[in-house]
A and B are shown apart, each in its own frame.
Chain A
């Protein structure tokens, strides 16, 4: 059944009419051409499709349109502020925390969700939180380093 939904997408109010069970991942990628959010597994097990909804990370491949009404959705494309990288994005570059880059947007989103929830996570907290985001290139240690560096400077706030 088609429904009409309004929500905020990267700070912009959007209005979409589509099937109620359409998944956010495909809406982002096809309707809004926001292709930074990736398909990895389709069942929420890899984290490549993570986006922020009201500052919490969700797997967009499992999130249906009908749950979006009135929410604030932020994708990787919405992390820059005034043309300046978010400190976490900069930290990923500085620490070489990416290789192929395909998991990177999900990693950034899940890390941001952690920092919203707990601005001072320990290294062990970071590892535990990121455990369900998969990276095949083996950038894990540098991803943790990058997140930890942002925690230390308090720059994420």
Chain B
């Protein structure tokens, strides 16, 4: 199917009004990122328009969920186009106006979409420069540009604004010229940290999220939910609704919903429905899930196989085998999934909290059997996503209900629904067998990860004899119950797979260092040939004041590294452990990152601070409790996410590396958080935790076990 069906080219250009429109064709990086199959088939994938009022409108398929790409994308355009940041308007995630995008995830916006956007802006600048050259009858090198005004250098009285040029010019499709992007030395906007462009809206309550959109005649829907995953509806009794006024009932194809003009009335109506369910047997529980995963996931993908394994085991003085485990973790964004859908005259418009507006549009078209061009998804601000809003069940529910009722319908999940239908970070387990020789070199590394995924599974170290296998790496299931592996939905969770893999790898590194009675940093440097990582370790160590205290007196230091989304990251942390309670306090974290050119340094710091803070959750407290398909956590009283008092002093070091294009920033820091805390806990107590999260109870148990030995 032709992906450009969303809107026809001529209509689209007409809809933008007068002025200049610059379209940029795909560049190879974007093609790669978009996964050939999904590439926007028409000949552009980034564009902007310059209105006759001088405003620059940027259209981007990316969405803003807090990560700051509204601002950083505007900075890129401002710099390449030579306009003031304040003259830019951003349109994000609107499928009728923005170029196709597969979704906002994987720390891809800056490193993959950024080059296309910058190219569009640079081509726009080049086009405008040529229009001005024609007008003044000079060559382009006799012109200069400042804040959207082009001036003849030798005759400053001769000048023309972008706005004036766009009055006289029609649409231009700039593909003939390959624009040259500015270098870091030429940046004025990139590399600086202007205040977030969405700050004003967000502190005044003006910023709109999906559940804030209001339409005439709209109804609020509440849906009947099963008591556990895998339950089937046996019988439903809605007779009690007959006494209520203003309630619309929908009951078809297992979609049972009540709708009302007031959300509380809809909730009250839902509570009067009586339903009987057939419940499946409860077999899986947190205590047996990892064994289940190892048994189910027997198909292995070989990621690395080099050197002589298992023969090299003989070269090792000692082999160490460890098993690491982690439970299911919820995304728990502050904004639960929400959507408002409005179906009329064969067309549907949907405001949705989704990280994937275009795939969501396509799924709605499929669900309602509508042509793609009759489906428009608009993405307001998202109140957090973290991977969880790549799932869009709430959109499908709203789409079905507006189609059935003929009213605009809001489906805004309760916190309980959010926990129940979240696509959790999957429970996972890692087995690793490793050994070192008498020189402290790693001579054997045999690593198998189950259910977490491939990301972060290949260590950053030099491992001549190495096997890395991953089982069940694509377990992001839409219909998880059918496969029998997970009882409920799982999906990408900020730094998917890497959080677990780095925890396992860097814990194992520390165990080997401790066995050799070698400093944890020295041991790593001794097994590292990657100069960029070695340099970063030294930067972090200097800032932190690193030494491996191994005091086991309740206070300790830990470190960990990873390469994620093209970014190198090293973290060091200082913790203390209360032996009586098992509570861990994280006092300070130094995080050094080499992420190439940094578009917005303060924005990058926010992502690092946010990653580490959020990471404390999967590290210390977050683990979904379940009994078979029943999710026992349904709100924040039992599911504990990081709070103000948990947050350490976070010291971020951004290593200058302007020779490298911008790399990812949303996830690298979170991927090392579990490992760095685990290693610091070991340094503080002499106790090694093999299971995430490292709850007070688990720490108390480990300390008690240590005392027995």
Distance A23 CA – B383 CA, assembled complex (angstroms): 22
Residues of A within 8 A of B199 (CB): 92-93, 96, 98
Residue in B65, B198, B606, B643 whose CB lies within 8 Å of A134:
B643
Residues of A within 8 A of B214 (CB): 33, 35
Complex interface residues of chain A between 99 and 153 (CB less than 8 A to chain B):
99-105, 108, 127-128, 130-144
Residues of B within 8 A of A19 (CB): 264
A75 within 8 A of B: yes
B384 close to A92 (CB less than 8 A)? no
Distance A92 CA – B200 CA, assembled complex (angstroms): 9
B415 close to A23 (CB less than 8 A)? no
In the complex, identify which listed stretch (B31-39, B240-248, B482-490, B608-616) lies at the interface while the others stay far away: B608-616
Residues of B within 8 A of A37 (CB): 205
Residue in A46, A89, A141 whose CB lies within 8 Å of B334:
A46
A137 close to B66 (CB less than 8 A)? yes
B643 close to A131 (CB less than 8 A)? yes
Residues of B within 8 A of A101 (CB): 66, 198, 201-203, 207, 381, 383
Contact with A along B571-612 (1 / 0, CB 8 A): 000000000000000000000000000000011001001111
Most interface-central of B207, B208, B381, B382 (chain A CB within 10 A): B207
In the complex, identify which listed stretch (B309-317, B398-406, B425-433, B634-642) lies at the interface while the others stay far away: B634-642
Distance A116 CA – B35 CA, assembled complex (angstroms): 54
Distance A22 CA – B637 CA, assembled complex (angstroms): 23
Tier of interface size on chain B: 35 or more
Residues of B within 8 A of A33 (CB): 214
B606 close to A142 (CB less than 8 A)? yes
Q: Given the known A-B contacts A41-B636, A101-B202, are A128 and B645 also in contact in the complex, defined by CB atoms under 8 Å?
A: yes
B205 close to A35 (CB less than 8 A)? yes
Nearest Cβ in chain B — how far from A88, in angstroms? 8
B195 close to A99 (CB less than 8 A)? no
Residues of B within 8 A of A144 (CB): 644
Distance A110 CA – B66 CA, assembled complex (angstroms): 21
Nearest Cβ in chain B — how far from A151, in angstroms? 16
A79 within 8 A of B: yes
Distance A132 CA – B637 CA, assembled complex (angstroms): 11
Residues of B within 8 A of A134 (CB): 334, 636, 641, 643
B480 within 8 A of A: no
Say what secondary structure dominates the interface of chain A: loop
Distance A76 CA – B602 CA, assembled complex (angstroms): 26
Residue in B204, B612, B637, B647 whose CB lies within 8 Å of A36:
B204
Residue in B68, B384, B644, B649 whose CB lies within 8 Å of A127:
B644
Residues of A within 8 A of B202 (CB): 98, 101, 104
B205 close to A45 (CB less than 8 A)? no
Distance A102 CA – B205 CA, assembled complex (angstroms): 9
Residues of B within 8 A of A99 (CB): 66-68, 384, 606, 610
Distance A43 CA – B645 CA, assembled complex (angstroms): 22
Residues of B within 8 A of A39 (CB): 211, 336, 412
Nearest Cβ in chain B — how far from A110, in angstroms? 11
Distance A83 CA – B649 CA, assembled complex (angstroms): 35
B335 close to A100 (CB less than 8 A)? yes
Distance A63 CA – B199 CA, assembled complex (angstroms): 29
Residues of A within 8 A of B644 (CB): 127, 130-131, 133, 140, 143-144
Distance A35 CA – B382 CA, assembled complex (angstroms): 14
Distance A133 CA – B641 CA, assembled complex (angstroms): 11
Residue in B203, B603, B612 whose CB lies within 8 Å of A92:
B203
Q: Given the known A-B contacts A131-B643, A134-B641, A144-B644, are A36 and B635 also in contact in the complex, defined by CB atoms under 8 Å?
A: no
Contact with A along B51-66 (1 / 0, CB 8 A): 0000000000000011
* Partner-B contacts on A (CB < 8 A): 19, 22-23, 26, 29-30, 33-43, 45-46, 48, 75-77, 79-80, 85, 89-90, 92-94, 96, 98-105, 108, 127-128, 130-144
Closest 10 CB pairs of A and B: A36-B205, A102-B383, A100-B66, A138-B613, A101-B202, A138-B610, A99-B66, A35-B212, A76-B205, A93-B199
20 examples of A-B residue contacts, CB within 8 angstroms: A34-B205, A35-B209, A35-B214, A40-B335, A40-B336, A40-B415, A75-B205, A77-B205, A79-B204, A80-B204, A85-B200, A93-B199, A98-B203, A100-B334, A101-B202, A128-B645, A133-B644, A136-B641, A137-B610, A139-B609
* Partner-A contacts on B (CB < 8 A): 65-68, 195-196, 198-209, 211-212, 214, 262-264, 332-336, 381-384, 386, 412, 414-416, 602-603, 606, 609-614, 635-637, 641-645, 647, 649-650
16 other A-B residue contacts (CB within 8 Å) besides A134-B641, A137-B614, A141-B613: A22-B264, A26-B262, A34-B205, A38-B335, A42-B415, A43-B415, A89-B204, A100-B333, A100-B335, A103-B383, A104-B202, A131-B643, A133-B644, A137-B384, A139-B606, A140-B647
